[in-house]
Amino acid sequence: MFTVQTIKDLDLPCLQPYRTMRRQLEHREQGIFVAEGEKVVRRLLESQLTVVSLLLPQKWVDELEPLLRARPEHIAVYVAEKERLETLTGFSMYQGLLAVGKIPEQISLTQILQKSTRPWLLTAIDNLSSAENLGALVRNCAAFKVQSLLIGETSCSPFLRRAVRSSMGTIFQLPLIETTSLITALREVQGHGIRVIAAHPHQKERFVFQTDFRHDCCLVFGSEGNGIAPDILKQCDEAVAIPMPPMVDSLNVASAAAVFLYEANRQRRAA
């Protein structure tokens, strides 16, 4: 169910989430996020997450009508020309589609594992501040059948607008656990018999192709600048590197994750 309203007054209270897109801490406190672009908005409408509203030019209403009619909740659809929308948001929009959704309730690791087939494949991230890199990592996790991503307390929110956009909407399908203590979360992972493997570029004795990923495991990634924090690294069961020439320090975290996750999937297919 949805209703369409043509926007004449940009100061309407209902448009507040779109006016405050740069103040994302406020969005987090309200339990909402912004989806941007046609593919991301479509994937939000196709997901089980709650959709609050859409903001878009009239031409997109007809395009999205079947998805809007299939939604169980009432969605407010605000319509205006793209130029007027850019005045509201304060930045240029390629396609002019925006939506507000509700951040889903977090479920526990035990619940995720109960719903997942074995061998389990999890990932965790420590100290990642780039929303674009986090979104790209989420996209890789979805592509390589990761069952959950654990996000450390020193990392940015996966529901920042740029993270959601970089994930291309795959964030709506991947179970996320935002931790208040990544060490505690990794101990819980290990309590389920899951081996925790650090992707550590400074490890020179064991490489990704020498590691057995066929059994339950959780792969831990750090930021490109500082890598995994020493206390997190100490909690891991082993550290593994991608072989690279001496003049290359590390890969982008999303690229490194793609290498590790591809190898895990390759081994599991061959098993």
Among 102, 117, 138, residue at a domain's last position: 102
Q: Are residues 241 and 113 in the same domain?
A: yes
Domain residue limits at 251: 109-270
Judging by DSSP bridges, how do beta strands 148-151 and 121-126 pair with one another?
parallel
DSSP states of the chain = -EEEEE---TT-GGGHHHHTTT-HHHHHHHTEEEEESHHHHHHHHHSSS-EEEEEE-THHHHHHHHHHHH-SS-EEEEE--HHHHHHHHSS--SS--EEEEEPPPP--HHHHHHHSPSSPEEEEEES---HHHHHHHHHHHHHTT--EEEE-TTSPPTTSHHHHHHTTTGGGTS-EEE-S-HHHHHHHHHHTTPEEEEE-TT--S-BGGGS--SSSEEEEEEBTTTBS-HHHHHHSSEEEB----TT-----HHHHHHHHHHHHHHHHHH-
Q: Are residues 200 and 261 in the same domain?
A: yes
Q: What is the pLDDT of residue 95?
A: 72
pTM metric for this prediction: 0.92
Q: Are residues 96 and 134 in the same domain?
A: no
Q: Are residues 165 and 44 in the same domain?
A: no
- CATH number of the domain encompassing residue 212: 3.40.1280.10
pLDDT digits (tens, 9 = 90+) for 172-214: 999 999 999 999 999 999 999 999 999 997 777 789 999 999 9
Q: Give how many domains the chain has, as a whole number.
A: 2
Q: Are residues 52 and 120 in the same domain?
A: no
Among 84, 102, 120, residue at a domain's last position: 102
pLDDT digits (tens, 9 = 90+) for 12-38: 888 888 887 777 778 888 999 999 999
pLDDT at 93 exceeding the cut of 80: no
Q: What is the pLDDT of residue 94?
A: 61
Q: Are residues 25 and 75 in the same domain?
A: yes
**Whole-number mean pLDDT of the chain?**
92
Among 36, 71, 102, residue at a domain's last position: 102
Helices 131-143 & 253-270, crossing angle to 10 degrees?
Answer: 10
Lowest mean pLDDT among 6-20, 78-92, 164-178, 221-235: 78-92
Q: Are residues 162 and 89 in the same domain?
A: no
Q: Are residues 29 and 73 in the same domain?
A: yes
